[in-house]
Amino acid sequence: MLQFHEQILTDLLQEDSNGGLVILSSGLSLPSLISSLLLLHSPSQGTLLLLSPSLPLKSHILHLLHQSDPSSQPPAEITADLPAPSRHSLYSSGGAFFVTPRILIVDLLMSRVPTSNVAGIIIPHAHSLTETSTEAFIVRVLKSTNRDAYVRAFSDKPHSMVSGFAKAERIMKCLYMKKLHLWPRFQVYVCEELEKDPPVVVDIRVPLSKHMAGIQKAIIEVMDACLKEMRKTNKVDVEDLTVENGLFKSFDEIVRRQLDPIWHTLGKKTKQLVSDLKTLRKLLDYLVRYDAVSFLKYLDTLRVSESFRSVWIFAESSYKIFELAKKRVYRFVRSDGANVSGNSKHTTRKKRKLNGEESNTESATAGSSSTNSSGSILLEEVLEEAPKWKVLRDILVEIEEEKKKEVLFRKEHLLEGEEPDGGIVLVACKDERSCMHLEDCITKSPQKVMREEWEKYLLSKVELREAQTRYKKKPKDPKGYGILDGVVPVTPAQNAEASGINKLEHEALLAAASEIRNLAKRDSSQDNLEHNVTEGSAKGKKQRSGKGRGNSKNSPNRNDTSQKNDNPSDPGSVGDGPTDEFNQETTSNNCEEVLQQNNRVADETGPKTNNGSPPLHFYALESDQPIIDIMKPSVIIVYHPDMTFVRQIEVYKASNPSKKLKVYFLFYEESTEVQKFEASIRRENGAFESLIRQKSLMMIPVDQDGHCVGLNPSLEPQASSLQNSITRKAGGRKEVEKQMQIIVDMREFMSSLPNVLHQKGMRIIPVTLEVGDYILSPLICVERKSIQDLFSSFASGRLYHQVETMVRYYRIPVLLIEFSQDRSFSFQSSSDIGDDVTPTNIMSKLSLLVLHFPRLRIIWSRSLHATAEIFFTLKANQDEPDETKAMRVGVPSEEGVVENDVRAENYNTSAVEFLRRLPGVTDSNYRAIMDGCKSLAELALLPVEQLAELMGGQKAAHTLRDFLDAKYPTLL
Amino acid sequence: SSSYGGQSRNAILVSHRQKGNPLLKHIRNVRWAYADIVCDYLLGQSSCALYLSLRYHLLHTDYLYYRIRELQKNFKLRVVLCHVDVEDVVKPLLEVTKTALLHDCTLLCAWSLEECGRYLETIKVYENKPADIIQGQMDTDYLSRLSHALTTVRHVNKTDVVTLGSTFGSLSHIMDASMEDLARCPGIGERKVKRLYDTFHEPFKRVI
């Protein structure tokens, strides 16, 4: 806990009964705030409920709690597995608990929570709330019976607190809170404390390799083109559409927010543009994160899966992306006279000399017989390494050196003292995948990592080719030009030749792949030796051959050698590359330039010695663990820069002022990585400035006792009187006539409709329903579908099935099609209607549904609130529904289903859905399968006989087994 | 209502009341002819439709009720085809919904005359069509079946399906893959790995 943390808590605790909303910069240790609040809690105050934080946040909180007091019990979790009575006793016990909003709201509605015993609620993710979200529902119900319970909400994502109109204010009102506390990084206390004794920072800018820079430029060009297209549609506000914004995930949100109200009226092209931009953003990210081969592989899969839809894939610059990505991995050299320079090259450069040559030339000549103009083509590996790898290794060497020096220094000066603390080196990168890669790079060698990836790539290439020839036969129209295939729409004459070459290229690729396959197949013992030899020699060769071209891309910060090779497009001029030793020297010298801060002489031998090297630890930022606190590293290498992580480092340093800490930042120079990092800081500051403005203008209505009156006071008294029979009502209000009831399926508490219905004064009875989502009366059963749900459940056949059962059990089965308030009220754009009746159109599907179920009624609702209105009207002359009856409807087996059992919690729903989509699995046998085997992984291993037993038939069992084992990709 | 024989069996029969309705211009894929019928459009042996413009409804609130009452019990499927041609829809749509629902009519909303026409055409054309296109039977080739299954896991897209398939070789291998192997696939991030792994390895029924 730092001083500003204490300050935050003191400010917050002063507001006793209304609580407050705390927004702080990301990375300023929200977990330690919450854990201190939990520590401050004493059972005498009543029960403290913590609305389920995200998993990493939770583990972080638990870790901190354990650290500060290892003997204490961590807060228990209230789950649906606990029987109702024991939940009740937990709620009244006075402890602190984790609970999910869904369970809490259901328990509140069923009066299982003794509200007077509840001291307050902590909401750790205020930015994700809206007026209609379940958390708001909870607070409203709670406040209606216990006005003194406090609500404390937190958020460390300020930028999402400013999206939409006065979001912070609206959230505060719906949580009944008065006070907003803002704690940006630039706040005075925070600044002072974090900058008192900052860690030593070394900022290293690594230049992108030439091809990487080329790809980046091309991607940005394509993005720019897409954005221009988007502007042309005149559907979006141009202001926000910049490439810089395009780098962020939230760009999608900006676009979606603008387009959502008219989304259904948009043409295919605009929608495609939106998703293309998303893909491109991912590509930019992967460019700096993935190695060359994985990047190419990803591009390949993209091409296979997207090529028939995307617009961008056909753009001029995209061709460059594919071409350059290919060049980072391999290239082709011709062996005939057509390309003179190529000829000499292949003799000097080719690595796969032994068996490679035979198969290569063989297949190549086979190919050339069809197109006699071009000769054989040989595959040459390039396998460009990521520039940062090299730098990382150099840093590690440097760290080691320093360590040694320090030890020496200590010995010389006879400093006994304690050992330098731990001395762990932490490498932080974005995801687990990069972690594994980097680890391999350090423990093995980068070349080896690249080689492994390359071999995997070649193998998968063979399979992909097979897939394509089998499946992409039909779409061989002009659209099918794969950019990667190198088929550029040029003049027809050239085109023919190009495709000829292209064919040869593929054959060369395939030959290389099959060679690797053969190598792998060959039995180990005796061949192993030979294999090693070949590989060894290949590697040696590669290093040399990599020189001419590799040098111009691989080594960071080349200064003097660059002029020599500045014409890599003509490989002939590059022939006189520097020798091995020279190269090594230059690169290590380069690093020294980069790491100028240390006047250490570069170690000539490059590879580091193992003894005494500091313990290395790799950490994925995505996994979001309290890693710094656990490892207590003395050196942190930030491989992928991230704002939140930087703050965490600062907080760590400030709370451990005695520890030495050195931080290395690795940026790619002039890359989107840097831009993105800087923009993220700017964006957060901007968000805080806007929040500060909002705070100064905020109006929160308060009643005479100083309690917050909430969002829409006119509705409140009514709602609260309906919740439980409260007798405190002043003013002799008329007895409300019999309260309307609606039975709601548990799963529906994910949506906001129950909240809105409750707001309108209905009594909500949560139960688990097998048929329908809402039961309005003994006759009326409603299945609710939002627009997206409607489309997807038509496609999966779920809707048909659901309507079928509703029709079976209820007299008035209703399909509720719910549009969203902030989106357009229409089904589709007029351009989607088309000239003919087509089976794929949503109107056709709906018509078919109506024809097959003439008794089905349809409600078209403009919004949540309109739905509530309609429900009210429909219930007017109907009896109240019976919950026990409703629950029994459609439940297959009478025994085994226990009352009050939260069904959805008891099933792994995505696994069940997955199972039901497998061939051979039907509505009638899936339950038996679930009874007979535990999980999908287990199912995957069952033999046919056992499957036949479970599925009640040989045929179905064979269908399933065949599908499971089918070699990807083959036809069934 | 089955008395109209011959060629008119394949045509939509239109009541004389509908004369001058611009909607008729948009019935192009099916022939239509005027006839003396109670409903506005006769779409098959036992299905019929009433046309209602919301703007008209605002002026004559009772109109729909009387028209429905006229229909009596002669039809199995009774469609109220509602043309949403006003801005402020909530209140009038509520009234129409209530009337239709409580008097055994199926409400279909359309936002343009073109859409209205298309609904009439489709119901006529699909008169005897089986329901298989909405029963979830998709393409039977391996790849679409595979992605149909794998995309049940949230956020897994078609690209990921190709990646998974080409990396592991068969579905049973995908289902048996370790978290680490899944994480090695390009494009499959931490969360997707977890979701996939949980789907395959968490038991169908959670243990209580």
| Angle (nearest 5°) at CA A633 between A632 and A639 | 130
pLDDT-derived band of residue A517, with 50, 70 and 90 as boundaries? Answer: low
How far apart (Å, rounded) are the C-alpha atoms in residues A61 and A54? 11
**C-alpha to C-alpha distances, A34 to A37, A121, A762, nearest whole angstrom:** 5, 12, 35
Contact check, Cβ <8 Å, A471/B143: yes
CB A748 within 8 A of CB A755: no
CB A891 within 8 A of CB A897: yes
Last residue of a domain, one of A196, A221, A255: A196
Mean of pLDDT values over A210-217:
88
Q: Which residues of B touch A290 (CB under 8 A)?
A: 186
**C-alpha to C-alpha distances, A706 to A10, A20, A438, A702, A710, nearest whole angstrom:** 20, 14, 58, 6, 12
Q: Are residues A446 and A461 in the same domain?
A: yes
Q: Are residues A230 and A307 in the same domain?
A: yes
Nearest Cβ partner for A797 among B98, B121, B136: B136
Contact check, Cβ <8 Å, B126/A907: no
Output the domain CATH number for residue A309.
Answer: 1.20.1320
How far apart (Å, rounded) are the C-alpha atoms in residues A567 and A699? 66
Is residue A596, in this structure, part of any structural domain at all?
Answer: no
Q: Are residues A311 and A393 in the same domain?
A: no
Q: Are residues A13 and A127 in the same domain?
A: yes
Is residue A524, in this structure, part of any structural domain at all?
Answer: no
How far apart (Å, rounded) are the C-alpha atoms in residues A589 and B108? 75
Q: Based on the number of CB atoms within 10 Å of its own CB, is A237 exposed (0-12), middle (13-18) or buried (19 or more)?
A: exposed
N-term to C-term CA, chain B: 59
How far apart (Å, rounded) are the C-alpha atoms in residues B95 and B61? 8
| Angle (nearest 5°) at CA A41 between A40 and A42 | 115
Q: Which residues of B touch A920 (CB under 8 A)?
A: none
Domain of A162 in residue numbering reads as 3-196
pLDDT of residue A583: 40
Q: Are residues A203 and A231 in the same domain?
A: no
Nearest Cβ partner for B175 among A290, A797, A937: A937
| H helix count then E strand count, chain B | 9, 6
B131 to chain A: nearest residue by CA? A848
Contact check, Cβ <8 Å, A301/B187: yes
pLDDT of residue A575: 38
Q: Are residues A104 and A14 in the same domain?
A: yes
Is residue A304, in this structure, part of any structural domain at all?
Answer: yes
Residue of B166, B167, B182 for testing the chain A interface, max A β-carbons within 10 Å:
B166
How far apart (Å, rounded) are the C-alpha atoms in residues A535 and A542? 10
How far apart (Å, rounded) are the C-alpha atoms in residues A239 and A486? 37
Show the beta-strand stretches assigned E in A159-295. Answer: 179-183, 200-207
How far apart (Å, rounded) are the C-alpha atoms in residues A37 and A122? 9
Phi, psi (deg, nearest 5) at residue A353: -85, -45
Contact check, Cβ <8 Å, A968/B166: yes
pLDDT of residue A432: 82
The predicted-structure confidence for A943-965, as pLDDT tens digits, reads as follows 888 888 888 888 888 888 888 88
Give me chain A's average pLDDT, please: 74
The predicted-structure confidence for A252-293, as pLDDT tens digits, reads as follows 777 777 777 777 667 777 878 888 888 888 888 888 888 888
How far apart (Å, rounded) are the C-alpha atoms in residues A121 and A101? 11
Output the domain CATH number for residue A818.
Answer: 3.40.50.10130
How far apart (Å, rounded) are the C-alpha atoms in residues A947 and A954? 8
> How many structural domains does chain A have?
5
Nearest Cβ partner for B133 among A294, A839, A843: A839
Last residue of a domain, one of A670, A690, A716: A670
What is the nearest CA distance from B205 to chain A, expressed in angstroms?
5
Better pLDDT: A318 or A235: A318
What is the nearest CA distance from A818 to chain B, expressed in angstroms?
12
pTM: 0.69
Percent of chain A with pLDDT over 90: 9
Is residue A920, in this structure, part of any structural domain at all?
Answer: yes
Phi, psi (deg, nearest 5) at residue A397: -60, -45
B71 touching chain A per CB within 8 A:
no
Of the candidates A643, A247, A211, the one whose C-alpha atom is nearest the C-alpha of residue A386 is: A211
B11 touching chain A per CB within 8 A:
no
CB A911 within 8 A of CB A925: no
Residues 168-187 of B with CB under 8 A from A: 168-172, 175-176, 180, 183-184, 186-187
Of the candidates B122, B143, B118, the one whose C-alpha atom is nearest the C-alpha of residue B133 is: B122
Is residue A24, in this structure, part of any structural domain at all?
Answer: yes
Highest mean pLDDT among A239-248, A432-441, A455-464: A432-441
Cis previous bond, A969, omega within 30: yes
- Type and span of the H or E element at B103: none
Q: Which two tokens stand for residue A755?
A: 């909240």
pLDDT-derived band of residue A340, with 50, 70 and 90 as boundaries? Answer: very low
Is residue A455, in this structure, part of any structural domain at all?
Answer: yes
Contact check, Cβ <8 Å, B76/A854: yes
Output the domain CATH number for residue A915.
Answer: 1.10.150.20
Residue A546, classed as helix, strand or coil, is: helix
Q: Are residues A920 and A860 in the same domain?
A: no
CB A588 within 8 A of CB A602: yes
Distance of CA B52 to the CA centre of its chain: 20
Is residue A678, in this structure, part of any structural domain at all?
Answer: no
- Please determine, for residue A404, whether its predicted confidence score (pLDDT) is greater than 50: yes
Q: Which residues of A touch B142 (CB under 8 A)?
A: 963, 966, 968-972
Q: Are residues A165 and A299 in the same domain?
A: no
Q: Are residues A21 and A151 in the same domain?
A: yes
What is the interface size between A and B, counted as CB pairs within 8 Å? 266
Give the range among A489-498, A816-825, A868-877 with minimum mean pLDDT: A489-498
How far apart (Å, rounded) are the C-alpha atoms in residues A70 and A63? 10
Q: Are residues A222 and A202 in the same domain?
A: no
Q: Using CA of residue A521, residue A523, residue A524, residue A530, what is the dihedral sign?
A: negative
Last residue of a domain, one of A670, A698, A719: A670
Q: Which residues of B touch A798 (CB under 8 A)?
A: 136
Is residue A15, in this structure, part of any structural domain at all?
Answer: yes
How far apart (Å, rounded) are the C-alpha atoms in residues B139 and B148? 9
Per-residue pLDDT of chain B (208 residues; tens, 9 = 90+): 444 445 567 899 999 999 999 999 999 989 999 999 999 999 988 899 999 999 999 999 999 999 999 988 889 999 999 999 888 889 999 999 999 998 999 999 998 899 999 999 999 999 888 777 887 665 667 888 888 888 878 778 888 888 888 888 888 889 888 888 888 888 888 888 888 898 898 888 876 5
The predicted-structure confidence for A351-398, as pLDDT tens digits, reads as follows 443 343 444 433 433 333 333 344 566 777 778 888 888 888 888 888
Q: Are residues A122 and A224 in the same domain?
A: no
Q: Are residues A154 and A59 in the same domain?
A: yes
How far apart (Å, rounded) are the C-alpha atoms in residues B189 and A620? 11
Q: Which residues of B touch A814 (CB under 8 A)?
A: 101
The predicted-structure confidence for A523-567, as pLDDT tens digits, reads as follows 444 444 444 444 444 443 333 333 333 333 333 443 333 343 334
The predicted-structure confidence for A165-206, as pLDDT tens digits, reads as follows 788 888 888 888 888 899 998 988 888 888 888 888 888 888
How far apart (Å, rounded) are the C-alpha atoms in residues A154 and A23? 6
How far apart (Å, rounded) are the C-alpha atoms in residues A806 and A509? 57
pLDDT of residue A906: 66
**C-alpha to C-alpha distances, A346 to A544, A574, A734, A780, nearest whole angstrom:** 13, 14, 96, 78
The predicted-structure confidence for A757-812, as pLDDT tens digits, reads as follows 998 888 999 988 888 999 999 889 999 998 888 888 888 888 988 898 888 788 89
Better pLDDT: A819 or A342: A819
The amino acid that residue A603 corresponds to is D
Contact check, Cβ <8 Å, A833/B162: no
B24 touching chain A per CB within 8 A:
no
Give the pairing type, strands A741-745 and A774-775: antiparallel
Contact check, Cβ <8 Å, A935/B202: yes
- Please determine, for residue A214, whether its predicted confidence score (pLDDT) is greater than 70: yes
Long-range contacts of B149-156 (CB under 8 A, 24+ apart): B149/A914, B149/A917, B149/A918, B150/A914, B150/B174, B152/A910, B152/A913, B152/A914, B152/A917, B152/B199, B153/A910, B153/A914, B153/B192, B153/B195, B153/B196, B153/B199, B154/A910, B154/B195, B155/B191, B155/B192, B155/B195, B156/B192, B156/B195, B156/B196
Residue A771, classed as helix, strand or coil, is: coil
B194 touching chain A per CB within 8 A:
no
**C-alpha to C-alpha distances, A344 to A332, A334, A367, B163, nearest whole angstrom:** 13, 10, 22, 38
